[in-house]
Amino acid sequence: MTDAHLFAIGVVLAWLAGVRAYLTVFGVGLAGALGWLDLPDALQATQSPWVLGVSGALALAEFFADKIPGVDSGWDLLQTLARVPAGAFLAAATLSSDGELGAGAMAAGAGVALTSHALKSGTRMMLNTSPEPVTNWTASVGEDVAVVGALGLVFAYPWLTLGVILTFSLCIALSIWWVWRKLFRRAPKPA
């Protein structure tokens, strides 16, 4: 793969880590362990049975915690401490040709992961104000499917996956901005 492809893969993995860090690490590690991918040296740590076991167990815990309104917001708050560093690691490890993690790639990965995490958390906070639980479950399952789908697509079509994720992020950000404006617009002044 060219450096440009690795860049796109690194950005996508960082974005996915901001949404589902444990599932992303588990998916990358499992694909490497099963021989589906030839991972860069720095990413080969994700193939370890220990990393696979822990990330798989945490992905399963996150799957259930994310379906309960209220609990999911607390989980997202707590996971800010894991998702941003995971995104930084995945981006830097993907771009590392010699196994050393570059500071610039780590900072970029952290920024991408923080952005996707903020979009996810902001969307979920708005959904939690809804009195019915269907939207929460639908959003959570949608996130799970999106992460698994993007993991399956990113290594074959990195630029397509990056384009889809950027378009999706822009749509979500504009939706949040629109709802925010509608909720907090100023009332007209009486004449």
Higher pLDDT among residues 50 and 76, named by residue: 50
CA distance 16 to 68: 21
As a whole number of angstroms, the distance between CA 83 and CA 56 comes to 15
Q: How many CB atoms lie within 10 A of CB 132?
A: 9
pTM of the model: 0.86
Q: Predicted confidence band at 189 (pLDDT cuts at 50, 70, 90)?
A: low
Average pLDDT, the chain: 87
Question: Can you list the pairs that 119-127 forms with residues at least 24 positions away whose Cβ atoms lie under 8 Å?
Answer: 119/169, 119/172, 119/173, 119/176, 120/18, 120/19, 120/76, 121/73, 121/76, 121/77, 121/80, 122/176, 123/172, 123/175, 123/176, 124/72, 124/73, 124/76, 125/73, 126/176, 126/179
**For residue 136, what are its two tokens?**
């929460």
Q: Of 145, 148, 127, which Cα lies nearest the Cα of 68?
A: 127
10 against 191, higher pLDDT: 10
What is the per-residue pLDDT for 188? Answer: 64
Which of 17-21, 72-76, 170-174, 187-191 tops mean pLDDT?
17-21
Q: If phi over 0 gives left and psi between -120 and 50 gives alpha, with beta otherwise, what is residue 68?
A: beta
Q: What is the pLDDT of residue 178?
A: 86
Among 28-32, 39-43, 146-150, the least confident range: 39-43
pLDDT confidence bin for 187, thresholds 50/70/90: low
The average pLDDT across 60-86 equals 87
Cα(112)–Cα(89) distance, integer angstroms: 12
**CB of 70 closer than 8 Å to CB of 122:** no
What pLDDT band is residue 37 in, cutting at 50, 70 and 90?
Answer: confident
Of the candidates 115, 11, 144, 67, the one whose C-alpha atom is nearest the C-alpha of residue 75 is 67
The average pLDDT across 5-9 equals 88
- pLDDT tens-digit readout, 108-161: 999 999 999 988 888 887 777 777 667 778 888 999 999 999 999 998 898 999
Task: Using the predicted structure, report yes or no on whether residue 98 has a pLDDT greater than 80.
Answer: no
Q: Report percent pLDDT > 90 for the chain.
A: 45
pLDDT at 185: 76
d(CA 87, CA 126): 24
State the pLDDT confidence band at 186, using cuts at 50, 70 and 90. low
Residue whose C-alpha is closest to residue 144's, from 24, 10, 29, 57: 24
